[in-house]
Structure 1
Amino acid sequence: MVFSAYSHPGKVRKNNEDYFFIPTAGAQVKNLMMVADGMGGHNAGDVASRMVVEAIVEYYSKNSHKVMSIEQARDLVLKSIQHANGRVYNQSRTVDAYKGMGTTLTLAYFFDHRVCIGHVGDSRAYLIRHRSVSKITRDHSLVQELLEKGKITQEEMDSHPQKNIITRALGTAEEVAVDYYEVELEDNDIIVLCTDGLSNHVDLNKNVDLFYSTESLDEITSSLGEMALEAGGADNVTVVMAKYSCATEKR
């Protein structure tokens, strides 16, 4: 596995309320990456996104060595997210400045030639395979619900005044409903996770050739981030990626 990440506060906001994780050389937790897009007044969004990511990394460091089957991998994904949700929820109830804070989360855990995705909110996971882009996750957003009910079109969805309203987030209730997805991986698959600061500005389908260029993964993530900034950069922009190789997969 090769991992890469890019995060930028954007051109409008002073703070970056996005937070992410990819494994570094000395990291205790391997085969895991995630993005979180925080929300809430003052600095509460920063706190929520960082708290969720750090709580999940801590949970994996204590429990991932016990995972021996894909069923256990699924349980690890779901339990780690509930654990992080509880931590943010409790903090939001005990500290006035953090009241009502929450965050999106999209997580990818690689195990036994598969990727296990845990998802809450409107950050996204994509699969890049055979020069095509597939969106894995479903947005938990008002405009997604309106689209599915036939009340707006895809074109109207992209410019809707309420497109930033999410219908599900971590930390806003004692428990959270988590969407889970599982994908069997093929050699050279790329998994992309991003916050809406990227997906609102950059159409991955129109830029699929970038993933098959001679550029490194780091150069690709940077190029995508810079495209989002050039297209407006109205929000924080975060994208993380992993490229899968059968030859280097380890249990």
Structure 2
Amino acid sequence: MNNVALPFESFGVSHKGCVREHNEDNYLVEPQTGLWVVADGMGGHEAGEVASASIVDHLATIGIASSAPDLRARFEDRLSRANAEIRRISRTRGITIGSTFAALLAMDGRFACLWAGDSRIYLIRNASISQVSRDHTEVQELLDRGVISEAEALTWPRRNVITHAVGVSDDVVIDFQQGELMPGDIFVLGTDGLTAHVSDAEIEAAAVSGKPRAACESLLQTVLARGGTDNVTIVLVKIGDARNGQTLHPDRSRAGTRG
């Protein structure tokens, strides 16, 4: 494993959008522990926010891990606790609630991206953007099976139906990708309120054009200018170069811009 400690610079924003009355998204920016998360709650007024907040609150207790495998183990433990808590709340209220999430873990020169649902993770490397995550949606499954085309997927009537989320079953089903961090890497985590209005190319252009805070705020303003039909949450992480001796101490955040 590469033990070079690469510096991070990161920022996050969250907004209820132009249509929704409440923000059911939450996010976590914890560079000290090597963890960044966005979570998009489901379940209606207040319930969705409870689910996404449970994920963020539990993951915020991870603390400083001793190694990358330890960080991953702590993450999965806290996510399991959040799932159990959301299940208990669901039973108490007599409704089904849950939350998607997308997370970036980084330590010892390595990264892991983990997700459930349609919140996404992008990696910009060598001036090229790629979607690391793969949507857990009904329409993505139909695409994967060749039942519908890309063009049909754009107007599919059930394109927002989620197939995996935290809190909807006793077992948490997640996917992950992992690899080596490279200086200059940029990770963008976003709920579907971002990707519903902004293209991959526009995400890349904003991310490479300035600091994480400016990029997040620019993307948010683009979403709002285009109608913001859903809550939107964006977390951006830039990987620095250890050789330049720079140490970056980005903002430590656990709440979005509500308004």
Tell me, yes or no, whether TM beats 0.5.
Answer: yes
Match of 2:218 in 1: 223
**Structure 2 CA distance for aligned equivalents of residues 210 and 44 of structure 1:** 32
Secondary structure at the counterpart of residue 104 of structure 1: strand
Which amino acid in the other structure matches residue 78 of structure 1? E
Match of 1:121 in 2: 117
Unpaired runs of 5+ residues, structure 2, are 1-7, 249-259
| Offset from partner CA, 1:182-207 (integer Å, 9 cap, x none) | 12111011111100000111112245
Secondary structure at the counterpart of residue 134 of structure 1: strand
CA contact (8 A) 1:73 1:116 kept: no
Deviation at 1:209, TM superposition (A): 3.0
**Structure 1 CA distance for aligned equivalents of residues 44 and 204 of structure 2:** 36
CA contact (8 A) 1:192 1:241 kept: yes
Which amino acid in the other structure matches residue 46 of structure 1? E
Q: Does 1:140 align with 2:136?
A: yes
- 1:161-200 to 2 correspondences below 5 Å: 161-200=157-196
**Structure 2 CA distance for aligned equivalents of residues 121 and 141 of structure 1:** 7
Secondary structure at the counterpart of residue 22 of structure 1: strand
- Larger RCO: 1 or 2 (CA < 8 Å, sep 6+): 2
Match of 1:21 in 2: 28
**Structure 2 CA distance for aligned equivalents of residues 102 and 191 of structure 1:** 25
**Structure 1 CA distance for aligned equivalents of residues 203 and 121 of structure 2:** 16
TM-score of the superposition, structure 2-length normalised? Answer: 0.86
**Structure 2 CA distance for aligned equivalents of residues 156 and 111 of structure 1:** 40
TM-score of the superposition, structure 1-length normalised? Answer: 0.88
Match of 2:256 in 1: none
Q: Does 1:246 align with 2:244?
A: no
Match of 2:55 in 1: 52
Match of 1:41 in 2: 44
Equivalenced residue count is: 238
CA contact (8 A) 1:106 1:193 kept: yes
Q: Does 1:88 align with 2:86?
A: yes
**Structure 2 CA distance for aligned equivalents of residues 52 and 212 of structure 1:** 29
CA contact (8 A) 1:78 1:178 kept: no
Which amino acid in the other structure matches residue 243 of structure 1? K
| Offset from partner CA, 1:144-197 (integer Å, 9 cap, x none) | 001111122222222322111100110111111111221211101111110000
Which amino acid in the other structure matches residue 7 of structure 1? S
Unpaired runs of 5+ residues, structure 1, are none
**Structure 2 CA distance for aligned equivalents of residues 79 and 152 of structure 1:** 37
Match of 2:9 in 1: 2
Which amino acid in the other structure matches residue 216 of structure 1? K
**Structure 1 CA distance for aligned equivalents of residues 195 and 208 of structure 2:** 19
**Structure 1 CA distance for aligned equivalents of residues 45 and 145 of structure 2:** 35
CA contact (8 A) 1:190 1:244 kept: yes
Q: Does 1:236 align with 2:239?
A: no
**Structure 1 CA distance for aligned equivalents of residues 113 and 75 of structure 2:** 8
**Structure 2 CA distance for aligned equivalents of residues 48 and 222 of structure 1:** 25
**Structure 1 CA distance for aligned equivalents of residues 81 and 21 of structure 2:** 30
CA contact (8 A) 1:197 1:235 kept: yes
Two-structure CA RMSD over aligned residues (Å):
1.8
